[in-house]
Amino acid sequence: MKLTQTNDVKVYTVSGSDTGRSLPDWLARKRKRSLKNDLAYQSRIELIQDFGFPEASNRVRVTEDGQWCMATGTYKPQMRIFDFNSLSMSFDRHTNIENLTFLLLEDSWRKSVHLQIDRYIEFHTPMGLHHSLRIPHYGRDLVYCRWAAEVLVPAEGREVYRINLERGGFMKPFEVNEEVKEVLTGVQSDVHGLLAFGTDLGTTELWDPRVGSRVATVERVSTDSITALAFDPTGLQLATGNAEGLVRLYDLRSPMPLLTKDQGYSYPIQNLIYLPPVHSESETKLLSADKRIIKIWSPSDGTPWTSIEPSVDINDVAHVKGSGMLFTANEGPDMHTFFIPELGPAPKWCSFLDNVTEEMEESVISGVNGEVTATTYDNYKFLTKPQLEQLSLSHLVGSSVLRPYMHGYFVKQELYEQARLIANPWGWEEQRKRMVQERIEKEREGRIRSSGKKVASKVKVNQKLAERLAKLEEKLDRRAARKAEKEKEKAMAEGDEDMEGEDEAGEEKAQEQTKVMEDPRFKDLWTNPDFEVDETSFQYMLHNPSSRPTADGANGDTRKRLTAVEEEDAESSNASSDDESSSSESEPEEKPKKQFKEKKAPIMRISTASYRTQGHSSKESGPARKEQSFGSRMAAGEHNRKRERNFSKGQVYGDTEFTYKVEKKQPGGKSDAHRPVNRGGNADRRKDRRSASGNTFRRMGV
């Protein structure tokens, strides 16, 4: 049993193609005998035994007493009677031609009338076919007038045929508007007995069976033909559905529609059913169905209540009165059974459903379509085309060994195992190594690591990506926390009164945000090896040109890996540095900025006036002299000559006195006593150096 939820209304799919594990036809025929040993197949829920047809079902009806169900289907054309007390099929009966629609003439199934697609109308009893007759034109629908015991047959043309069951013959037909080419549907109210017929022109004509004449016509709003009609329990409201999927509600006292509801898929409306309230607190609801979806909504304002969308096309819908159970005849072997507890309780013959649904309250599947799960079979393996080529089985495509299914093929499990062993003989050894490596990694994960490593250690695939995402999320969290703290301090300084409400809203918003590592949409990215990121591939390098992949998939990270303790120390130091930086940023005015003196660019100029050999110095080294006149230069020369005279007298300027004594080189080499003093400490290096000029000071080593 499957549970779906729309607008907080739980819908249980009790039986149908969406429940249990379905088997393909070719596989079901082959494994029919072995299903008794299949626990998964035996544990499925089958509310009514054999509730379906070999190919498809056309119509389904529930008797007034709520104890029987009759349905018609194909192929071969047949009808089936189901007994609710025994939860099984009572009997089936085959017919000569396919059924279009049928009606139950009394509270049980014992008398029924069937409209066939070959213009025949058949009357069935428990003994079998009672009588059959033929109408002049192809019929479209059946209406039973209980007050006059007449069967009305809307058909092609402008006539509605009348068959009186008491007299056993045809009565004068009802003739609708002359422009009408086809009467598609009809219905009678149980309150006032008026008949309503929908035409291909989009009009709805109301007839009184007591006088046999038309009493009113609901003018067409559009040219789309009317395909479904229904009176509400009070008899004052009429619902019409057209071929474009629009449902309009009319009050019999007004020609204009009260409400227009779009089904959404532009398919013809097939069924309109008013669902009376079971509880006094609830209100009447309207069910509208096309071949795609069933919608239940409020007829007062059109508010949607819930919807049901089976996986196959719908042909007919029936409601079990006084309960929340719906039956559908559809294009599939199994007819569907839906149970809506909020619509009503389970029927008496399956009251155990209430207990079953209470146990399933915890396993709610959100979404309209529910959860989509993959279907697998024990003795068969599903392979795609690339997998077939990898196993060297592509040459078997088209043979009976491979069964095509969707985007791949089913192959026997034995053949798959043999092909995999041949393609990779060392597969078991690789699997064993992989298991050992996983166990080692699991033991390593048990060690103390930083918070980022804890998140990344939970994944089995893409460890590098997980670590990067964890670090990025931590960085964003710290930044958001600092930003929130600043905003809070600023608001407190300004005296904002609404700050508490904003803080609560921000906390709720932060709780609603889901991290990437915890998002269920990306679950396979961390567990499925098929989603592993190959950082050495061309596509990865094309999208990440700055990365430098290595053999192990790391982006050029050749640094030595830290231990767990070192990682914690590094993280704590980073956290303290972050706190210091944040505090320094928050108080920029308390600590003055340090002023640095800009260095002047060196003057790349050599001139005779500013050039000084090693050992000479001037009092101050200023910028280069500007251009001067001849008189000023002479005055400067006189000043320099006075300074030279003062130096020759031994006069001291400052704290240091320099005296130079130049000696000539003695022939035959120098002794250690006469070796000049090595002030640079490079005497050994300059010993073998060739002199580049005749500079006296350079030969002295100065």
- CATH number for the domain including 275? 2.130.10.10
Lowest mean pLDDT among 33-42, 318-327, 629-638: 33-42
Are the beta carbons of 108 and 124 closer than 8 angstroms?
no
* pLDDT for residue 161: 93
Query: What is the residue range of 415's domain?
Result: 380-425
- Give whole-number Cα distances, 98 to 109, 117, 119, 608, in Å: 19, 6, 11, 122
In this structure, what DSSP letter does residue 264 have? S
pLDDT in tens, 516-537: 777 878 878 888 877 888 888 8
* pLDDT for residue 155: 92
* pLDDT for residue 94: 93
Lowest mean pLDDT among 20-29, 47-56, 69-78: 20-29
| Concatenated DSSP letters of 197-236 | EEETTS-EEEEETTTTEEEEEE--SSSSPEEEEEE-TTSS
Residue 408 lies in a domain: yes
Q: In angstroms, rounded to a whole number, what is the distance separating the alpha carbons of residues 8 and 218?
A: 37
Q: Region 654-682: what's the mean pLDDT?
A: 54
pLDDT in tens, 266-285: 899 999 999 988 776 778 89
- Give whole-number Cα distances, 78 to 60, 72, 83, 142, 603, in Å: 12, 6, 17, 19, 110
**Both 96 and 180 in a single domain?**
yes
**Both 395 and 257 in a single domain?**
no
* pLDDT for residue 439: 81
Q: How sure is the predictor about 197, in pLDDT bands with cuts at 50, 70 and 90?
A: very high
**Both 185 and 92 in a single domain?**
yes
Look over the chain and give the mean of its residue pLDDT values, rounded to a whole number.
76
Residue 643 lies in a domain: no
- Long-range contacts at 312-315 (CB < 8 A, ≥ 24 apart): 312/17, 314/270, 314/289, 314/290, 315/56, 315/57, 315/58, 315/59, 315/270, 315/291
* pLDDT for residue 589: 45
**Both 25 and 55 in a single domain?**
yes
Where a domain ends, among 403, 425, 447? 425
Residue 572 lies in a domain: no
Where a domain ends, among 371, 395, 425? 425
Are the beta carbons of 370 and 2 closer than 8 angstroms?
yes
The pTM of the full predicted model, rounded to 2 decimals, is 0.53
Q: In angstroms, rounded to a whole number, what is the distance separating the alpha carbons of residues 609 and 414?
A: 101
Strands lying side by side in the sheet with 56-62: 56-62, 68-74, 78-83, 88-94
Q: Is the pLDDT of residue 622 over 50?
A: no
Residue with structure tokens 């592993």?
532
> Could you tell me what percent of the chain has a pLDDT over 70?
66
Q: In angstroms, rounded to a whole number, what is the distance separating the alpha carbons of residues 2 and 338?
A: 10
* pLDDT for residue 253: 87
Are the beta carbons of 289 and 306 closer than 8 angstroms?
no
Instruction: List the structure tokens of 538.
Output: 């061309």
**Both 354 and 386 in a single domain?**
no
- Give whole-number Cα distances, 681 to 65, 393, 686, in Å: 121, 83, 10
**Both 238 and 385 in a single domain?**
no
Q: 3-state class of 479 per DSSP?
A: helix
Q: How sure is the predictor about 578, in pLDDT bands with cuts at 50, 70 and 90?
A: low
Residue 415 lies in a domain: yes
Residues 6+ apart with CB under 8 A from 339: 11, 12, 14, 324, 325, 326, 346, 353, 357
Q: How many domains does the chain have?
A: 2
Residue with structure tokens 């303790």?
565
Residue 434 lies in a domain: no
* pLDDT for residue 593: 44
Residue 468 lies in a domain: no
Q: 3-state class of 697 per DSSP?
A: helix
* pLDDT for residue 187: 94
Residue 648 lies in a domain: no
* pLDDT for residue 382: 85
Residue 189 lies in a domain: yes
**Both 270 and 405 in a single domain?**
no
Question: 520 has which bridge partners?
Answer: none
**Both 285 and 387 in a single domain?**
no
**Both 340 and 416 in a single domain?**
no
**Both 333 and 418 in a single domain?**
no
Where a domain ends, among 388, 404, 425? 425
Name the more confident of 432 and 660: 432
Residue 249: what are its φ and ψ, rounded to 5°? -110, 130
Q: In angstroms, rounded to a whole number, what is the distance separating the alpha carbons of residues 331 and 312?
A: 6
**Both 320 and 395 in a single domain?**
no
- Range with the largest mean pLDDT of 48-57, 216-225, 373-382: 48-57
* pLDDT for residue 617: 47
Q: Is the pLDDT of residue 401 over 70?
A: yes
Q: Is the pLDDT of residue 248 over 90?
A: yes
Q: Is the pLDDT of residue 62 over 90?
A: yes
Residue ranges with strand state E in 413-460 = none
User: Strand pairing of 314-319 and 304-308?
Assistant: unpaired
Are the beta carbons of 153 and 121 closer than 8 angstroms?
yes
Q: Region 422-440: what's the mean pLDDT?
A: 80
Lowest mean pLDDT among 369-378, 433-442, 472-481, 571-580: 369-378
Length of the chain: 702
**Both 389 and 241 in a single domain?**
no
Q: In angstroms, rounded to a whole number, what is the distance separating the alpha carbons of residues 464 and 150?
A: 79
Q: Is the pLDDT of residue 366 over 50?
A: no
